[in-house]
Structures are given as C-alpha cells and as structure tokens.
Amino acid sequence: MEGKCRVAVLTNLASGANRLGKYRRYRLPDIVGERGLVLETETVEEIEGAVERLLSCGAELICLNGGDGTVQRTLTHLINALGEGSGEMPLLFPLRGGTLNVLADNLGLKGRPDRLARLAMGAAENDGALPWEPIPTLRLVRESASGVEREYGFFFGNGALYRFDQVYYRETRGGPLAAAGLFLKCSAAGVLKRTRYAGVFGASPMRVSIDGFEMPGDRFTIVLAMIFKKVVLTFNPFREGAGGDFYALATSLPFGKMVSRLDRLLWVRGGEPPYPPDVYWNGKSSEVIIEAREGYTLDGELIEPQEPYRLTITRGPDVRVLRVR
C-alpha cells in the first residue's frame, strides 16, 4: 500500500514535450516535494499500472504531464476501474506535456508544465475541498467478435484524420507547425493524386448512422465526434444545432470535390450549409454508430482494432477538472 497523498503527478516520458529528457527541465519532483507523489511512465502502456498506484495512495488530484493521449488513457482506466459516476474519481488536471494539447487549449490553460504544476499545488495548499469544474466526455463502446470495450475521451476521428495522425506521428516531431505543414502536403496530394500522401485524405469503407439516420453510401472520407467546438490549427468546422450532446461531422464526399469550398468547411461562419446532410452531416448529435474495420483516433491516440467492429459514440459521464485562477 502506498503512503497517502493528496496530489499526484504522472509524467508520460513518451509524450511530445517530454521526449529526449526534456521533462527534466520542468523539475516537477521539486515542485511537488513531500506534498505529493510523482510517477513516470516510459510508454503509454504503462499508464494503467501507474494509475492503479495513484488510486492506492488515495490521490484526490492527478496532474497529467503528457498530451491528450495521456489524458485519454488515464480517463478510460479510471472510469472502467471505478465506474461511471463514481464519487471516488480523482480530479484531473492536464499540464500541457503533449504536442497539440487540445484539451488544455479548450480549458484555457496556458504555459509550461512547471507553471501549471505550481498552480495546481497552490490550489491544493489548503485542506479544504479542491475547486473543480465538470467537463463532459465521449463514451465509445466498441463491439467485435472478441467482446465489448469501453473508451472515454473528448475528440474522435477516423478515415482521413486517422491516416493523417499515422503520418503525423511517424514523420514529424509534432507541434502545430508540423501539423499545418503536413496538412498542406496532404491537401495538395489529395487534389493532384500524386506523392505518397495521395491516399491520406481518401475514403474508407464503413457504414455510418447519426441519430438514427443512416447516411447513404459505404465509403466515407471522415467522421468526427467532439465535445469541444474548437479543434486544432484554428479550425472551427462545426455547426450549432438544436439539441444534441456533442459535435458530429461525417461526409462521403471525395476530398477533391470539397477543396473549392474548403474555407467554408474548415471555418464555419454561418449561412446555409454548402452540402445537403445526406452527404455532409454537420451539427450537434446524441449518437453516432460506425461499422468499420480501419482504426481511428481518440484524443490523438491511435486505436487499431484487429477485426471488424461496431462503434457506438454517445455522451459519457462528466469528469471533474481542477479549476485554477
């Protein structure tokens, strides 16, 4: 049994801002001192074991020095271990240790991991209740011949986004500039049908149903489901709508047919949608069902099932995130 601790810091050494020993410059053990526990993992696969140690020490607040994938892994394991709506769920706090940090951006958190860690330790100085705010999640239920798995996160994508992330992690060092440069390369290749990036923005075989409406066709360019309206690289592709729990977008249109209206698709500014919903669904939704074989990305983490699956996406439980000034 670990000694009791109120605050814990989990550093994923494989995340973008921590690689090659960069995490040492943040001196997080010195910031935490004897007031909490600091753990390090060398791979994302080690995160579940580290979370179990943090639970055993009774951590009320887990600060995550990693990227969005680190948060997703931690969140999924916590909910699957404790159950949805558990009163024992620790507060979470992202320290911006990744390359894009979409969750932290949408929470308005700025600065390096060491600055954010000091803010978290300051909030935990008193013995009173820690301040927090609720953030909704996405619940992904994946059914296949091997059984049923549940995952939780904040932004899902497949098709073009999944293939883009594969290339992004394989060929770049990460970060907004690298993502922007790769997006331009893939966009040009998608139009000209040249270079090895030509298939990144192609279509994938799948079936898609949104809020009971089965979209025509069996090949789709991309499907997105996100809690936050803001994505990355200033993209704002989602339209508001009546009702619904999260933003959803799905299209069977080839990339080449959309390129002339790309500015209206990536930055929605109101007005009539450029395409009908049977080929380009965009709005607030409550359920997305996908039948596919190709993998997908959840909070930037590549998920690669080994067999065909049926994926149901709905709103998951709220997670408590530390509120700092």
* Tokens 């639970």 found at: 55
Q: Mind listing the pLDDT tens digit for each residue in 70-123? A: 999 999 999 999 999 888 999 999 999 988 788 999 999 999 999 999 999 999
Please give the Cα distance from 212 to 210 (Å, whole number): 5
Q: What is the pLDDT of residue 234?
A: 63
More confident residue, 252 or 22: 252
Tell me: pLDDT of 267 over 90: no
Residues 6+ apart with CB under 8 A from 79: 86, 89, 150, 152, 316, 317
Q: What is the pLDDT of residue 162?
A: 96
Helices (H), 147-236: 160-171, 176-192
| Distance in Å from the first CA to the final CA of the chain | 34
34: buried, middle or exposed (CB in 10 Å: 19+, 13-18, 0-12)? exposed
Instruction: Give the mean model confidence (pLDDT) for residues 233-256.
Output: 84
Q: What is the pLDDT of residue 243?
A: 81
Tell me: pLDDT of 132 over 50: yes
- The beta strands (E) that lie in the chain are given as 7-12, 36-41, 61-65, 91-94, 132-135, 138-144, 147-153, 155-159, 204-210, 213-214, 219-220, 222-226, 246-251, 280-285, 288-292, 296-298, 301-303, 309-315, 319-322
178: buried, middle or exposed (CB in 10 Å: 19+, 13-18, 0-12)? middle
Task: Give the least confident one: 63-67, 129-133, 194-198.
Answer: 194-198
How many angstroms from the chain centroid is the CA of residue 43? 17
Q: What is the pLDDT of residue 1?
A: 42
What 3-state class would DSSP assign to 200?
coil
Q: Mind listing the pLDDT tens digit for each residue in 150-194? A: 999 999 999 999 999 999 989 988 888 888 899 889 988 888 877
How many angstroms from the chain centroid is the CA of residue 190? 25
User: Strand 138-144 relative to strand 147-153: parallel, antiparallel, unpaired?
Assistant: antiparallel
* Tokens 């996160």 found at: 153
Q: pTM to 2 decimals?
A: 0.92
Q: Domain 7-136 belongs to what topology?
A: Rossmann fold (3.40.50)
Number of DSSP helices (H) and strands (E) in the chain, helices first: 9, 19
Q: How confident is the model at residue 233 (pLDDT cuts 50, 70, 90)?
A: low
Q: What is the pLDDT of residue 205?
A: 97
Q: Compute the C-alpha angle 100/165/238, nearest 5°.
A: 70
**Sequence ranges of the domains in the chain:** 7-136, 155-298
CATH number of 155-298: 2.60.200.40
Please give the Cα distance from 99 to 101 (Å, whole number): 6
